[in-house]
Amino acid sequence: MTNLHDGSGHPPLDPNVADKLLELLSTDDEFRTLFKQDAEKALSQVGYFLPAGAPSLRCTQVEHLASKDEVAESREALKSHLTATGPLTVIFCFEAGKVSSFLRSK
């Protein structure tokens, strides 16, 4: 999460990084496997590097990653969420079967 008031947490994703992430999560089985096993490494492949001193990426861990179709169907809403600035920005929102309901609750 990002708390822009005190500088803790994770900053929003750059729109180009979010596009790359969502493209690969919706099309690339190898990247999806890497994301499930090591989200930080997967994110570095799309151009996101955890800032020095930022908390770990535990928030990206999912029990069941959303399907490629689920990510693709929610792509624009996910991109908007991942790139938003505000008091709380969460990278994690890729749990299978929960993407749409999570985004609707925002």
According to the model, what pLDDT value does residue 49 have?
84
User: What is the rounded end-to-end Cα distance, in angstroms, of the chain?
Assistant: 14
48 contacts 13 by C-beta, under 8 angstroms: yes
Q: Measured between alpha carbons, how far is 28 from 25 in angstroms, rounded to an integer? A: 6
Q: Measured between alpha carbons, how far is 42 from 33 in angstroms, rounded to an integer? A: 9
For residue 2, pLDDT beyond 60: no
Q: Name the CA radius of gyration of the chain, rounded.
A: 13
If you average pLDDT over residues 59-80, what whole number do you get? 86
If you average pLDDT over residues 54-67, what whole number do you get? 71
According to the model, what pLDDT value does residue 3 have?
36
The H-or-E segment that residue 100 falls in is: helix 99-104
pLDDT tens digits, one per residue of 31-58: 999 998 888 899 999 998 877 766 666 5
Question: Which candidate, 36, 23, 11, places its Cα nearest to that of 78?
Answer: 23
pLDDT band for position 62 (cuts 50, 70, 90): confident
